[in-house]
Structure 1
Amino acid sequence: MDFTRRDLMRTTAGLAAGAALGGKLLGPTGARAQSDLSFKPEEGASLRVLRWSPFVKGDEEQWLALTKKFSEQTGVQVRVDKESWEDIRPKAAVAANVGSGPDIMLVWFDDPHQYPDKLLDVTDLADYLGGKYGGWYDGMADYARRDGKFIGLPLATIGNAIVYRESWVKEAGWSEFPTDTASFLELLKALQKNGHPGGFTHGHGVGDGNNYAHWLLWSHGGQMVDAGGKVVLDSAETMKSIEYAMELYKTFIPGTESWLDVNNNRAFLAGELSVIANGISAYYTPKNDPAQAELAADIRTCPLPIGPVGQSVELYQVTSAVIFAHTPYPNAAKEYLRFMYEEPQMQSWITASSAYCCQPLKAYENNPIWSSDRNYAPYAKASATLRPNGYAGPLGYASAGVMADYVLVDMYAEAVTGRSSPKEAIERAVKRANRYYSI
């Protein structure tokens, strides 16, 4: 992560600066604080922010424009870097453990629970924003909250939905996209027969791989752990989900076991796939390219089919903004995040993201973007309806570690490719999961 001598010097200086300033807050503090809350940046403050690479151009462009606006208003220079989705998790872990690097990072899911003591307590800021803007969505807040304190700020839910070619689905004999898993399998068989296979990520895609694996498990009634944190993956429901996954896999385009988050987008836009599960990015690209207008007109989105469990159960991908405790400029970092979450900035970023980033605060769900295009509708309630990782157990080191280790993703990949029998794949996943939950 390019840790420099400057980073080490800043970290050392920051310990002294933080102690001297005591993170002094200007304005009221605590829950439901008034709108004049602000933090006075330290003299000479500058910030480094590391975020994930964008799949929607408008997201990054607006984030950088707002950052520039913040610097112009405060004099605090902010450097924004980006990394691939898969690299964010290890980069954040290194920064936390080394105690140097970016001041702020945008991280995934319950990763903050892996190094909570390395993160700045931002409860005062979270309470202020929640009180002012209708409150945080519970599922998102749990990812960023530990022992009653916020160790990060929920930023966005990147929704996941079926993205498909309407003409090919109709050609296969379906006037409407199926809403149940049994009919969904029959559709994919028909699409494959017509030369238009589907494809779902069985590789280590932070978003697509995890979303698909959790949907397979939860839609059939399976769980990684029970409410007490005991691993209960070895169940009849899990076996049924694997058997279903194996049948789906037979209809897929070859190679999905090695896919990362970008691969299904590329294959779909190249006309190699008829159906994927993805964020709105697979539609955003052709929609904003006149040369692909015909493709954009043929794309439709809808929720993933409902399985034997009888209800919609989606993981969805949550990202949170964390401030590392090693920052020499905690006030500047808090002020940067406060600025970015206030209504003028946050609403403009959600709009520019074109339904890719679902809001973290309930007051922002009225953003006009959600009703501006029929293909955006399946993503509008992602923050309100997501099921947190590690269901039905508590979030913490174990749930974060199991996800970071791709235990569930690998279980399905091993079974569908024949590297292991379904029974062997379950047994191996249970053994791996217990390494975390038995600690």
Structure 2
Amino acid sequence: MTISKRELLLGGASLAVGSLALPFAGGTPALAQAIPKFEPEAGASLRLLRWAPFVKGEEDAWLANTKKFSEATGVEVRIDKESWEDIRPKAAVASSVGSGPDIVWVWFDDAQQYPDKLLDVTDLAKALSAAYGGYYPGNEVYAKVKDRFVGLPLATIGNAVVYRESWVKQAGFSEFPKDTKGLLELGKALKGINHPMGFTLGHGVGDGNNFCHWVLWSHGGRMVDENGKAVINSPETVEALRYVAELYKTFIPGTESWLDVNNNRAFIAGDLAVTANGVSIYYAAANDPKLAEMAADMRSTNFPIGPAGKPVELHQTTTACIFKYTKFPKAAQAYLSFMFDAPQYNAWLTGASAYCCQTLKAFASNPVWTSKPIHAAYAKASDTLRPNGYAGPLGPQSAAAMADWIVVDMVAEAATGQRAPQEAAKRAQTRAERVYR
């Protein structure tokens, strides 16, 4: 079969994987016919709204791949960036007014808030899944409404505990604690040597949600049960809030106002011994010659195990969605198909330096995960993530509950003493019941 360059690129993975073994992607997947081809509309141009990058190499790789697509197809792609906190409201407004970017990278279950405003990409999503080993369940559920894909799972932004090894040892610990009790004891010891911990308790889309959901889940608490009934006011939740109130005493002051950038800045400034973040925090030090000593001292690990007895981590997920109002649906799908093709997607993962974890299992063999020891804690983010709507179904209610910061506010209120644990849990229950009617 003879394939032109244009056919190869427009078909994305469909043609690229038909007869070639894929580097880092588990060998040769399904035949070319598995992935639908999309011929861009005449005169098509696209606008993508994405979150502002924390790792320059990730953005550089995405832009380089986009340039390849434009050169092959003639479709220009304008890429706009917004802060993490602004993506959600910007996307919601675009869905409401019916104009704006053609493609948007949304967080968590944001797509569940306006699924009818998003283009059905089921055929493309299923074809990519078949070609590349299937989606991780946690990523897939965010992108689906019943049996319909309203987006393509793009990446998991792995969240891990990052710490200064020398300071942890100075505090009397030969290794980082593996349970919540040990973490509290470490926090006390670190504060005693003036090297405190600090976890985000403000409205940080990534770090605030990840930490506060871990606090809740690690003690067996949950927002709702399997039927979507609000059950957050429980003995397990109260115990989690009592724990975080004690842990907060070991924090650096001000964490209740932190957004996603603040813990990075505090750690890089040398004010913190322990925080939780994406791997970007390591590269902020590693790429600065003045911080070489700090980078060499940094280690990562997964969150400790709590009374629930098993790892329970949220992790931030991002999904690429196409709005129905786009004038160029075929061009938009051709673009995403191209970007998920193995050469492009692997280049993006490599450029992201372990910041973005793959959503398709075949890409787990990308060498980036074993290239540096600090990457190990981030390697299985997609495999271990728990959807934020746990233990109920995802949908408009779970998305609204997260957008309203119910879990984050509850944990922050109890941690800072603004409300007693029982009062914070009770208030969260009332708020959850308004959402889960």
Q: TM-score range by the shorter chain?
A: over 0.9
Unaligned runs of 5+ in 1: 1-24
Q: Partner of 2:191 in structure 1? A: 192
Q: Which runs of at least 4 in structure 1 moved beyond 2 Å after TM superposition?
A: 25-28, 31-37, 288-291
Distance 2:378 2:153 in 1: 17
Q: Partner of 1:229 in structure 2? A: 228
SS at match of 2:54: coil
Q: Partner of 1:318 in structure 2? A: 317
For the Cα contact (< 8 Å) 2:245–2:417, is it kept in 1?
A: no
TM-score (norm 1): 0.92
Q: Partner of 1:362 in structure 2? A: 361
For the Cα contact (< 8 Å) 2:35–2:128, is it kept in 1?
A: no
For the Cα contact (< 8 Å) 1:33–1:131, is it kept in 2?
A: no
1:290 and 2:264 aligned = no
SS at match of 2:387: coil
SS at match of 1:218: helix
SS at match of 2:33: coil
1:138 and 2:158 aligned = no
For the Cα contact (< 8 Å) 1:32–1:130, is it kept in 2?
A: no
Deviations 1:87-139 (A, max 9, x none): 00000100000000000000000000000000000001101111111111111
Matches within 5 A, 1:45-194: 45-194=44-193
Q: Partner of 2:304 in structure 1? A: 305
Distance 1:423 1:239 in 2: 6
TM-score (norm 2): 0.92
For the Cα contact (< 8 Å) 1:33–1:127, is it kept in 2?
A: no
Matches within 5 A, 1:245-260: 245-260=244-259
- Residues 89 and 36 of structure 1: CA distance in aligned 2, closer, same or farther (over 3 Å): closer
1:433 and 2:432 aligned = yes
For the Cα contact (< 8 Å) 1:162–1:304, is it kept in 2?
A: yes
Distance 1:171 1:420 in 2: 34
Distance 1:359 1:51 in 2: 17
Letter in 2 for 1:43: A
Q: CA deviation at 1:287?
A: 1.5
Q: Partner of 1:422 in structure 2? A: 421
SS at match of 1:245: helix
Between 419-428 and 221-230, the greater mean CA deviation after superposition: 419-428
Distance 2:399 2:35 in 1: 36
For the Cα contact (< 8 Å) 2:203–2:405, is it kept in 1?
A: yes
Distance 1:259 1:32 in 2: 48
Distance 1:419 1:216 in 2: 17
Letter in 2 for 1:163: V
SS at match of 2:356: coil
Q: Partner of 1:349 in structure 2? A: 348
Q: CA deviation at 1:34?
A: 2.5
Unaligned runs of 5+ in 2: 1-10, 16-29
1:376 and 2:380 aligned = no
- Residues 223 and 33 of structure 1: CA distance in aligned 2, closer, same or farther (over 3 Å): farther
- Residues 114 and 244 of structure 1: CA distance in aligned 2, closer, same or farther (over 3 Å): same
For the Cα contact (< 8 Å) 1:32–1:128, is it kept in 2?
A: no
Q: Partner of 1:8 in structure 2? A: none
Letter in 2 for 1:284: Y
Q: CA deviation at 1:290?
A: 2.5
Distance 1:250 1:297 in 2: 28
SS at match of 1:34: helix
Q: Partner of 1:270 in structure 2? A: 269
Deviations 1:162-216 (A, max 9, x none): 1000110000001111101101100010000100000001100000000011100
Q: CA deviation at 1:36?
A: 6.0
Q: Partner of 2:5 in structure 1? A: none
Calculate percent identity across the aligned residue pairs: 65
Aligned length: 412
Q: CA deviation at 1:422?
A: 1.6
SS at match of 1:38: coil
Q: CA deviation at 1:35?
A: 5.6
SS at match of 1:39: coil
For the Cα contact (< 8 Å) 2:36–2:123, is it kept in 1?
A: no
Distance 2:132 2:295 in 1: 35
Letter in 2 for 1:188: G
Q: CA deviation at 1:431?
A: 1.0
Distance 1:421 1:303 in 2: 29
